[in-house]
Amino acid sequence: MSRRCLLRERPSPGPTAPPVFYPSRLPSLHLVRMMKLRTAIRDHSNLNVRTLTRSPMALEDFDIFQSFGDRLPLGTSLPTLNPKISDIHEPKVAAPRHRLKLLTDADAAGIHTYVAVAPVYPEVGCDGMLEVFEAVKAANPCTVFAEPVNLRLEIAERVRSESRRQARRRRHEEGNDLDVSEFDIDMTPYSDSEAWVEYAVRTLRDAERAAEKADLSERFHLWPDHQALGRNSVINRQPDPEAFRAWLRRWWDRVSEWPDKTGC
């Protein structure tokens, strides 16, 4: 999940602080500083704060999250529930089932939640997104965000490198005759900008359909990339350019829900 994604969203109702990111591993001194920062925001401002994490360690701070009340929703990025896909794309973070449990535990503790189904990897598809959307409903999220992989973040090379590394490791553990086709990654969407646009538009449309099937449309928020998809050369290649431009604008202008301020 990129910092760019959360910072480009239009502000939620009321003053909003920059999102607090909760890394998986931090020295104890940094954890203390983060605690002091959250406490200062809570006690000496009226700012709203989104906290985004992929770490189950956030469970340890449920007490302070609860003390923010409606001013703090806790979220996680959950692009897939498939552990094999997650191992390749997110090899150093908590497994999807642990992130999902963090959200359901937060909801049970009275903490508002949200979900970033992002980035949606090409292997996930509409069915994979629907699986995530159906699962996260158990955490009662205020908003469910979604976006495709950002081509500019050099994710493609990292994914290719990790899939090859895992294939080598499995062969080393189980023998050279092992079928490692499960680690083959379709790199077509990353091959050039036109291929990426085709994948991105398809993914965004699939996400809309999956959200509708999961009955999450009212809480759903797409993140179409301004720079990559807003270019006239991209818009004019669509079957109905003006309809596509209006569709992009609708998502860019959308203000996401906030607890007890926008009906969440």
CA gap 59, 130 in Å, rounded:
26
A 10 A CB-CB count for 137 gives 15
Q: Which residues contact 216 (CB under 8 A, 6 or more apart)?
A: 133, 137, 144
pLDDT at 179: 56
If pLDDT is split at 50, 70 and 90, which confidence band does 115 have?
very high
Q: Distance between CA 99 and CA 105 in Å, rounded? A: 10
pLDDT tens digit string along 132-141? 999 999 999 9
Most confident of 20-34, 68-82, 166-180, 184-198: 68-82
> Where is average pLDDT lowest: 81-85, 96-100, 169-173?
169-173
Helix, coil or strand: residue 8: coil
Query: Are residues 120 and 108 in contact, defined by beta-carbon separation less than 8 angstroms?
Result: no
Tokens of 40: 């200062």
pLDDT surpasses 80 at 183: no
Look over the chain and give the mean of its residue pLDDT values, rounded to a whole number: 84
Q: What pTM was computed for the model?
A: 0.81
139 with 100: CB under 8 angstroms?
A: yes
Q: Where are the domains of the chain?
A: 3-252
Confidence band, pLDDT 50/70/90 cuts, at residue 75: very high
The least confident of 52-61, 120-129, 156-165, 215-224 is: 156-165
pLDDT of the residue at 14: 55
Is the per-residue pLDDT at 167 higher than 80?
A: no
Over its C-alpha atoms, the chain yields an Rg (Å, rounded) of 19
What is the distance, to the nearest Å, from the Cα of residue 205 to the centroid of all Cα atoms in its chain?
16
CATH code for the structural domain at 3-252: 3.80.30
